[in-house]
Amino acid sequence: MSGDMTYILAGWGVTLATLGVFALSLAVRGRRLSRMVPAERRRWTS
């Protein structure tokens, strides 16, 4: 594998890992916040 391809794959790897961590943290935060909403105000469950 050439040197250029290594940098390209490393860049893609870092980018995808960063987006994955962000998506996971966003889902965890959303679930945590949704527990704080009273049952009668949860419009997404009706």
Q: Tell the residue number behind the tokens 């962000």, with chain if given.
A: 22
Tokens coding 42: 């949860």
Contact 12, 4 (CB under 8 A): no
pLDDT one-digit tens code per residue, 3-16: 899 999 999 999 99
pLDDT one-digit tens code per residue, 11-33: 999 999 999 999 999 999 999 99
Instruction: Please give the pLDDT value at position 20.
Output: 98
Give the pTM: 0.72
